[in-house]
Structure 1
Amino acid sequence: MSRTALIRTLVFILFVLPLWANAQDDDILKKLEEIAIIDQKVMMPMRDGVRLATDIYRPKTDKPVPIIFSRTPYNFNSWGDGKQRTRTAQRAYEAVKRGYAYVVQNERGRYYSEGEWDILGVPLTDGYDAFSWMKAQSWSNGRIGTYGCSSTAEWQMAVAALDHPAHFAMVPQGFGAGVGQIGDITEQGNWYRGGVEQMLFFSWLYGVEHDKFKPRIPAGATQEDLIRISRFYDLAPENPPVDMAEALKHLPIQDILVNINGKREIFDKMIRRKPNDPAWYEGGLYHDTMDINTPGFWFASWYDVSITPNLALFNYVRSNSKDAAIRDNQYLVIAPTLHCAYTRATENTIVGERPVGDARLNYDEQIYAWWDMWLKGEETGFKANTPRVQYYTMGSNKWQAAEQWPPADAKMTTFYLNSGGKANTLNGDGVLTTKKPRKDNPDTFIYDPMDPVMSYGGNVCCTGNAVKGGAYDQQSMEENPNILVYTSEVLTEDTEVTGFIESTLYVSSDAKDTDFTIKIIDVYPDGRAYNLDETIQRARYREGYDKEVFMEDGEVYELKLTPMATSNLFKKGHRIRIEVSSSNFPRFARNLNTGGNNYDESEGVVATNSIHHSSKYPSHIKLPIRK
């Protein structure tokens, strides 16, 4: 590039592009002002007197209208700069032009909302009280739909279980951190997987929490005062940038936030909670003891942090809601994207570094047909035109439809792990076969917590620069002798795997406690090995999360891991592979192998771990194969 061209490029980036972006922001705000009655910083009262800051955008009409409600811990101040401002205005504009009021509200303790914040906006009654307030407004037709992704979705399920008469429908997207316990899956809001801490919240809390000495607006401030003040004070924290790849290495893990000068009160109490701690059942998480009585249009992603719990919740509501009409009004979309990245699918979608084709979908059209049906009472043809489950199959790179999840024609096929005892690395002798092995030639590897297997790609969210999300070629990782690699023969025909993937390992260790990880991979003819999903299990919780049972040297134990999930066409000429190890860091916290608390320990124990495979110890996975 010439010097002149370089200068022109820099001028464009530094001066023209920001002006263009601001013009785009101003344009959507002007368009919104033309069609909407805008009522900002409405302080909606809760039953305990705390007031929540709320912005209301509604059509210029005297007729009552339905409401699309978004409650969030994130900043939506329309006087600030940045993507959130534009996103809120765009969503409000799309709703208002279609005849809806769009109401966005901060959880208590966030930005201009009063009270103290906790994850998922405890108390749960805040959502119920907001519904009651909106239903009573003269401009409301009494029908409310809840909408949002990630932290703007996660509170919806537990509130839906309160069965407010105005809550007519919901669209939760990327909602996994609202899932506590569903059957045998005990995630506790994505804090755990298989009894192991998922480190995403370590990073997320640093980025979003406001300091305890943050500026506070005096109680009782008027709406006029708040609107004026919001033009000057956005209240958005800007924490110093942190290298999370380094920060998450700190031990003990209970001191990670204090080590980077983060706010730690919420983290301090959560890091000490075990998977079955009663505190998980007192807040805003949804558990399978609750009955959802609200129609739901659910959105999930193959490379989200909690794809399996998300799908398990959809199935649970479809099978267990007490009302048959509610069971029949649950719909699901599964996209081949990262967390909350549905609309980023393009004509040539790339997730991580794997191209997966044209993954676009008419999201807005479907969502508003859903709203029109439930909130306006119109006959939109949604149920006639929308499949129960829409899922994207990678490999074949196409959208497919089914009446249930998994599709009814997906049949479980067992693949056994086998080797001559040297499955270490992709150059070892590990195989994945439909024939049950006879003789036990266990594969042994070393797990040193101070030198863990690092995360590379995967089903992640919110870890800053610590983990790349999506599909990445795992071949370089598979050179590690502490990763066991089991690969099928070359496939002689296309093989579609769609559904939950079950894993059972027979393990032994010379440590009291350790972890075991598993990852499923699509191996291309040229050797590229793209990860599809992954999971982990802490051995002490192999008999349930209400007790800890430690290992004894020389004993072999059965471990059933939390299911994985995918839809992938393994093409003819490809191979199916799984990796087994004992760490996937920093996606998951390291087990220090001591049998202690782990969260307050700095010194680890090196473990010698083994995977057994024989007629007595048939380590295996079960794949849902569609013919």
Structure 2
Amino acid sequence: MKKLLLLMFCLSATTGCFSQRGVNKEDAAYVKANYTKYEYQIPMRDGKKLFTAVYVPNDKSHPYPFMMNRTCYSVSPYGLNAYSTTLGPSSQFLHDGYIFVFQDVRGRWMSEGTYEEMTPQLNKHKSNQDVDEGTDTFDTIDWLLSHVPNNNGKVGAWGISYPGFYTTTALLSRHPALVAASPQAPIADLYHDDAFHNGAFMLVANFGFYPFFTNRQDDKPTQRIAPEFDPGTTDGYDFFMKMGPVKNTNAKYYQDTIRLWNEMLDHPEYDQHWKERNVLPHLHDIKTAVLVTGGWYDAEDLYGAIHTYKTLARENPKTPVYFAMGPWVHGGWARGNGDHLGDVDFGGPTAPLYRDSIEFKFFSHYLKGTALDLPPVSVFQTGNNKWKKYNKWPPAESHERELYLLPDHKLSFSKPSAKGNSYDEYISDPANPVPFLAGKSMDMDREYMTADQRFLQDRKDVLSYQTDMLDEDVTLAGNIMANLKVSTTGTDADWVVKVLDVYPDSAVNNKWTGRGVQMAGYQQMVRSEAMRGKYRNGFDKPEPFVPGEVTAVDFELQDVLHTFKKGHRIMVQIQSTWFPLIDRNPQTFVNIMKAQESDFKKATHRVYTSKDHISFLKVKVL
């Protein structure tokens, strides 16, 4: 987790950590020469004070708009003489001139109050004690407008990941001065974004995160940085197998000292705890222009970006809502070129176009009145590596089709014709789970999102279904829905569905192709997702499987914009373990967060491929 944690911290904080990745000494010198830093404790309506760093241009020849970033990852460096080495979403903002505002949110770092993960948003605020991130943002904006001179009365907000959530909640302040906001890779629904995917616990992503994240659990401001957890190994597969059931995280390592970790273990179902941490139902009556940004290969908050955009566009039809998606990992648009991921080449830099022609122009238009020629939807089409512009997402030109799992491991847009009870089966053994990477890292390596799946070709517990060689390009544009007919000899099971782009034998290596890898026959993962079967009829009501009974398991794999080129094949893989990306399902109907070693059992799973029991993916095809 170390690389992931460092990345999240660097992208969110205003420290030199972010800029040092780009080693932009010119920007660091420019900040010191052209801005004056101030630090404030801004009072909220309930009396709590939030630590805020403000960088004001020295040039007073004209007023400036505010650019605000609220974060739980620290606004360090602290101290009036300690300057950030970069300001704003990109270097262009720094040189164009804004009043930059960075705030530790309530209960974090140098701000007062007690921290709540994804603070529940209140529907009503009857008294000054009824506070949430929306009211904190409103009070902050009000204070800035009246206490920071030479401002033009307009505020923009942006943030990536958790700060993306705080940007979304800034919309809920509904402050008239907030005229533009860009939630980027925002957490929208903590259960579905980061904690659980369709009920399956995201083990490796969360395990190392919370020790790092939990630098304080009280109402006492501090600059203390929490130590990272040291597993003593780089072999995550071996580490988590030896750890055993999830409950052992406390028995062996945390000793019940991390409140936010325990909240996840105490709430495996989508109960009221999680429903209160879903911001999407509140995104109505928004007047602020919004640019929602995400990456097709964001392993953490793909759900948040897509569903934040769709909800805003649906619930606020008169508000300018823009959507940008590129071939990026979590936050990948904010740094670097975005020209490849692992072995997969995107045909050239993609991130600079976003920073210069989408993000910068969006804020400049709404905060400074410059011209704007930006389509509502700007999305990168992987597979053939082209930027596409649409008026809505998914594009109106797409239409639904079904991609059927057939006997003999075939995959086709034609329905199965044979009646009966045909199926494929495999034995799923929690003691020998399918790895999610060819290597065995302690990280949720971002490259897994496009990784070659040929390392699994000898596994008997992975089913593969493949089309014939395509005689024309096939482009999927929109979400993918898995509709499986399955059975199991157990009483619970996970179902992992992966959609792959299989390259022809004539494919040649590119400059990013790793040592020992051949792009000929490469099985590139395009989209994948897990489903904990007990939640097939509702994430708040687990139900056991009846052993041997054919059962429908339907779930969403999220959106794609990908072209399977002529000469390629489409493959669908199905498996029931994906370790340690998700935790192991005992395959018995128990509370998995409290499961004992004795609860874990082998089970035989079947996937049905007949006309009587049809399994298919519902896709949107251009």
TM above 0.5:
yes
Work out which of the residue numbers 178, 195, 200 in structure 2 matches 1:196.
200
Q: TM-score, normalised by structure 1?
A: 0.82
Which position in structure 1 is the counterpart of 2:331? 340
Corresponding residue SS for 1:476: helix
Equivalent positions of 1:342-491 (< 5 A) are 342-344=333-335, 346=337, 349-360=339-350, 361-365=352-356, 366-376=358-368, 378=369, 380-382=370-372, 385-420=373-408, 429-439=409-419, 440-456=421-437, 464=443, 468-491=447-470
Which position in structure 2 is the counterpart of 1:69? 68
The aligned amino acid for 2:479 is F
1:130-183 superposed Cα distances (whole Å, 9 cap, x missing partner): 2232233242333221111111112222342342223222111111x2335xxx
**Which whole-Å CA distance do the structure 2 matches of 1:258 and 1:331 have between them?**
47
**Which whole-Å CA distance do the structure 2 matches of 1:189 and 1:417 have between them?**
28
Equivalent positions of 1:583-598 (< 5 A) are 583-598=577-592
Corresponding residue SS for 1:271: helix
Equivalent positions of 1:207-246 (< 5 A) are 207-210=212-215, 235-242=224-231, 243=233, 245=236, 246=238
Which position in structure 2 is the counterpart of 1:521? 500
1:507-530 superposed Cα distances (whole Å, 9 cap, x missing partner): 111111111110000001122100
**Which whole-Å CA distance do the structure 2 matches of 1:401 and 1:613 have between them?**
38
1:214-264 superposed Cα distances (whole Å, 9 cap, x missing partner): 9955xxxxxxxxxxxxxxxx5333325334715544333134266344851
In the TM superposition, what is the alpha-carbon distance from 1:105 to its structure 2 partner? 1.0
2:588, 2:601 within 8 Å by CA — same for their partners in 1?
A: yes
**Which whole-Å CA distance do the structure 1 matches of 2:379 and 2:64 have between them?**
33
Which position in structure 2 is the counterpart of 1:503? 482
**Which whole-Å CA distance do the structure 2 matches of 1:210 and 1:602 have between them?**
31
What CA RMSD, in Å, does the superposition of the two structures yield over aligned residues? 3.0
Which position in structure 2 is the counterpart of 1:577? 571
Q: 1:625 to 1:216 in 2, by over 3 A?
A: closer
**Which whole-Å CA distance do the structure 2 matches of 1:312 and 1:325 have between them?**
18
2:208, 2:228 within 8 Å by CA — same for their partners in 1?
A: no
Which position in structure 2 is the counterpart of 1:254? 247
**Which whole-Å CA distance do the structure 1 matches of 2:85 and 2:258 have between them?**
30
The aligned amino acid for 1:477 is L
Corresponding residue SS for 2:194: coil
Work out which of the residue numbers 159, 175, 192 in structure 2 matches 1:164.
175
Corresponding residue SS for 2:247: helix
1:407-434 superposed Cα distances (whole Å, 9 cap, x missing partner): 22222221210124xxxxxxxx444452
Corresponding residue SS for 2:395: coil
Corresponding residue SS for 2:461: coil
Which position in structure 1 is the counterpart of 2:140? 130
Kindly indicate whether residue 318 of structure 2 is the aligned counterpart of residue 325 of structure 1. Answer: yes
In the TM superposition, what is the alpha-carbon distance from 1:352 to its structure 2 partner? 2.1
**Which whole-Å CA distance do the structure 1 matches of 2:30 and 2:545 have between them?**
65
Corresponding residue SS for 2:305: helix
Kindly indicate whether residue 267 of structure 2 is the aligned counterpart of residue 276 of structure 1. Answer: no
2:53, 2:102 within 8 Å by CA — same for their partners in 1?
A: yes
In the TM superposition, what is the alpha-carbon distance from 1:63 to its structure 2 partner? 5.0
Structure 2 unpaired stretches of 5+: 1-16, 121-131, 506-520
Structure 1 unpaired stretches of 5+: 1-17, 181-186, 218-233, 421-428
- The number of equivalent residue pairs is 560
Which position in structure 1 is the counterpart of 2:118? 120
Corresponding residue SS for 1:479: coil
Work out which of the residue numbers 474, 491, 505 in structure 2 matches 1:512.
491
**Which whole-Å CA distance do the structure 2 matches of 1:372 and 1:241 have between them?**
44
2:154, 2:177 within 8 Å by CA — same for their partners in 1?
A: yes
1:420-454 superposed Cα distances (whole Å, 9 cap, x missing partner): 4xxxxxxxx44445232423211111111221111
Which position in structure 2 is the counterpart of 1:11? none
Which position in structure 2 is the counterpart of 1:228? none
**Which whole-Å CA distance do the structure 2 matches of 1:412 and 1:312 have between them?**
19
**Which whole-Å CA distance do the structure 1 matches of 2:68 and 2:438 have between them?**
34
**Which whole-Å CA distance do the structure 1 matches of 2:380 and 2:446 have between them?**
24
**Which whole-Å CA distance do the structure 2 matches of 1:515 and 1:22 have between them?**
39
The aligned amino acid for 1:119 is E
Which position in structure 1 is the counterpart of 2:309? 314
Q: 1:106 to 1:92 in 2, by over 3 A?
A: farther
1:4-24 superposed Cα distances (whole Å, 9 cap, x missing partner): xxxxxxxxxxxxxx9x97996
Corresponding residue SS for 1:145: strand
1:502, 1:562 within 8 Å by CA — same for their partners in 2?
A: yes
Q: 1:500 to 1:192 in 2, by over 3 A?
A: same
In the TM superposition, what is the alpha-carbon distance from 1:357 to its structure 2 partner? 1.2
Work out which of the residue numbers 466, 471, 477 in structure 2 matches 1:492.
471
Work out which of the residue numbers 56, 59, 66 in structure 1 matches 2:57.
59
Corresponding residue SS for 1:371: helix
2:403, 2:412 within 8 Å by CA — same for their partners in 1?
A: yes
Corresponding residue SS for 2:311: helix
The aligned amino acid for 1:618 is I
Kindly indicate whether residue 130 of structure 2 is the aligned counterpart of residue 149 of structure 1. Answer: no
Q: 1:103 to 1:463 in 2, by over 3 A?
A: farther
Which position in structure 2 is the counterpart of 1:178? 188
**Which whole-Å CA distance do the structure 1 matches of 2:119 and 2:141 have between them?**
15
**Which whole-Å CA distance do the structure 1 matches of 2:446 and 2:21 have between them?**
32
In the TM superposition, what is the alpha-carbon distance from 1:27 to its structure 2 partner? 4.8
1:512, 1:595 within 8 Å by CA — same for their partners in 2?
A: yes
Identity %: 24
**Which whole-Å CA distance do the structure 2 matches of 1:46 and 1:270 have between them?**
29
